[in-house]
Amino acid sequence: MPEINFLKANWDLLDGFKSDQSKGIDHPDVQKPVDDGTPVIDLPAVQPGVIPDISILEVINSRRSVRTFTDDPVSLEELSWLLWSTQGVQKVLREGVATLRTVPSGGARHPFETYLLVNNVSGLEQGVYRYLPLDHSVAYLGEQIPPEKVAGGCLDQPFCGRCAVTFVWSVIPYRTEWRYGPVSHKVIALDAGHLCQNLYLACTAAGLGTCGIGAYDQEEMDSLLGFDGEDEFVIYIAPVGRRK
């Protein structure tokens, strides 16, 4: 079945293939630029004490998908911790060609952007934000998307809109394709798993909960975030809130 071949090891496709990187074509940006005039909010630095003193064994044993949340807010410090844990930049390589982050990525390509649908985060207005990992800040993109629209875009899963903040990860495939060409899409799928697992563990450590969502309407969610569905599109969703 050709439609599942992208999930298989297919490195033979690179035999004789010349990537854009090898052609000397400029590398894609590691972070989408921010339009002039867009409000940018610096996030608190991640410091000891933001999360309880908890062992990695306890975190792994306690990790569960959580679909029911309290009405209590997530703090800005906690949101900062979650963003750093999932896409935080530790080092910029070769003048911006690549980045080392808190999650692994094939070839250090990190093809994702993190969007936040904020409903109840102390210190942030409700609205849509994008994480800027190079500066550890968030850009305010616009007003809150009605929770019922978010839930509808997630195939009528109400908790996706009734949470403190919904993480929506988009993918920009060319960041990986620039190096890996026709084998990029298996790499991207693996990278998405690394990303969300770190969110699970970071939430568990902080006493929060999340649930990775792969069941959503592609066109509807892309439309809600203004993606073209080709050069950038939604790849994974994760509502976050305080556990009951």
**pLDDT tens digits, residue range 175-223?**
999 999 999 999 999 999 999 999 999 999 999 999 999 999 999 999 9
Contact partners, residue 220, CB within 8 Å, separation at least 6: 152, 153
- Quote the tokens at residue 114: 């993190």
Does the pTM exceed 0.75? yes
Q: What is the 3-state secondary structure (H, E, C) of 31-96?
A: CCCCCCCCCEEECCCCCCCCCCCCCHHHHHHHCCECCCECCCCEEHHHHHHHHHHHHCEEEEEHHH
How many domains does the chain contain in total? 1
Tell me the CATH number at 233: 3.40.109.10
Sign of CA dihedral 208, 52, 127, 172: negative
**pLDDT tens digits, residue range 50-75?**
888 999 999 999 999 999 999 999 99
* Spatial separation of the C-alpha atoms in residues 227 and 219, rounded to whole Å: 9
Q: Is the pLDDT at 1 greater than 60, yes or no?
A: no
- The answer as to whether 89 is a domain residue is yes
**Residue 9 host element (H or E):** none
Size of the chain in residues: 244
- The answer as to whether 104 is a domain residue is yes
- The answer as to whether 12 is a domain residue is no
**pLDDT tens digits, residue range 134-158?**
999 999 999 999 999 999 999 999 9
Boundaries of domain holding 225: 43-242
**pLDDT tens digits, residue range 62-110?**
999 999 999 999 999 999 999 999 999 999 998 899 999 999 999 999 9
